[in-house]
Amino acid sequence: MTRRPLAPAATLALILALAALPAAGEDLLQIYRDAQQADPAIAAAKSSWDATQERAPQARAGLLPYVTATANGSLYNYDATIKSDPQVDINRNFGQYVGAISASQPLYRYQNTVLYDQAKQQVSQADYVLAVARQDLIVRVAVAYFDVLLAEFNIELAETQKKAVSEQLAQAKRNFEVGVATITDTHEAQAKYDGIVAQEITARNEYDNRLTALRAIIGRVPKDLKKLGPGYEPVLPEPNAADFWVDLALRDNLGVKVAEYNLEIARLEVERARAGNYPTLDLVGSYTAQGSNAAVNTDVASNQRTALVGLQLAVPLYQGGFVESRVREATALLEKSRQDLEGARRNALFQAQTGFSGVTSAAAAIKAFQQAVVSAESALASNILGQEVGVRTSLDVLNVQQNVFSTRRDLAQAYFAYIIGVLRLKSAVGTLSDADVEEINRRLRG
């Protein structure tokens, strides 16, 4: 039986749906929600954010009063013999206690003030660091999700192609048996079939690898995944100008924001290092109470109370060159942060440029491959007809058939490249969010 090619409409449905699965399949949004709960990288980022929030109150503590209370009590036994005439023996038990409260309020400690400013910068920066991790999770989940779909599609294509080549092989054998074809046709068809079997094995192995990659993100084996539904047409970036997206990335890219905070924190670190040579001034106070019910040389009880309020000034004179070394170190790290910021800006420029080009080229590729699929199937239909009338060989049909399957695969890849390209472009300009996942998810069907 000669296998007829799929009609163009059926082909487009195959590319977009990639296969009909049960309605219970998981969608991208569900996988993403699971990843938010199970992915170790995002969990670590959240914990890091929580930890960073504590830096502000820790640094602020250096500007607030420091109060301590101490107390101790002792019980003594004094036993002595004075060898005099007459001899005197002394045996006395007595107790002593001391209690004190001391407080110190910094009035001028520039190092602590700068440290608090640094902590506030770090707390603000943590929001952007966490946002970077969240955007990275969206991209990783989407890439892993559509990698699995593409791997599934490659298996389906291999199975379909194997079935088609098997039919051609069976026909070649029948034609040889009745004497209307040579053994060469049979051998060529057999070689094609064996090659497709090898491709199917490779496709299944690739599917297992892609599934493992997705499992590593969500912590479990996913169920059947929903496919990209029909009617999904690529849309070019608006505005369709690379310079706009590059400028936006240089201004709003989250990696650039993080690097800008690092630069400011490093600048404050230089100030803090220099403050090591500055004097400090504290308001200090204490209250001490002590007493005993006797002593070594008396049976008389005593109590004392002492209160103190004053100013304490400390002026560093020489610290062995420690402060100067710290200033040089902090200055070098400041220059590093400045270069890191420049690197982040260039990386943002690269991401925006390649993201924009990726979206536009993928959109163009989709349209081109859609037409290529139609043309390839028309060529296949012509070759099948030519074989039936004897002007085309079995090898001609198999070669054109191979082109049809390759073009279908290229179209599927173009669709997925477009979706990932859109996510990467939005990530480059700092606007990627859960809403983008929800938008893609609405295009899926199970």
Place of tokens 């201004």: 251
The domain locations on the chain are 8-64+109-277+322-445
Measured between alpha carbons, how far is 165 from 169 in angstroms, rounded to an integer?
6
Question: Does the structural domain 8-64+109-277+322-445 have CATH classification 1.20.1600.10?
Answer: yes
Long-range contacts, 180-187 (Cβ 8 Å, 24+): 181/394, 185/393, 185/394, 185/395
pTM above 0.85, yes or no: no
Contacts by 203-211, CB closer than 8 A, 24 or more apart: 203/151, 203/154, 203/155, 203/157, 203/158, 204/155, 206/151, 206/154, 207/148, 207/151, 207/152, 207/154, 207/155, 209/151, 210/144, 210/147, 210/148, 210/150, 210/151, 211/148, 211/151
Cβ–Cβ < 8 Å for 256, 345: yes
Q: What single-letter amino acid sits at 199?
A: Q
CA distance 337 to 151: 42
Each of the 446 residues of the chain gets a pLDDT tens digit; together they read 333 444 444 444 444 444 443 445 799 999 999 999 999 999 999 999 999 999 999 999 999 999 999 999 989 888 888 887 788 777 778 889 999 999 999 999 999 999 999 999 999 999 999 999 999 999 999 999 999 999 999 998 888 878 877 777 777 777 777 776 667 777 777 887 888 889 899 999 999 999 999 999 999 999 899 998 877 889 999 999 999 999 999 999 999 999 999 999 999 999 999 999 999 999 999 999 998 887 777 777 888 999 999 999 999 999 999 999 999 999 999 999 999 999 999 999 999 999 999 999 999 999 999 999 999 889 888 888 887 787 776 667 777 877 888 898 899 899 999 999 999 999 999 999 999 999 999 988 86
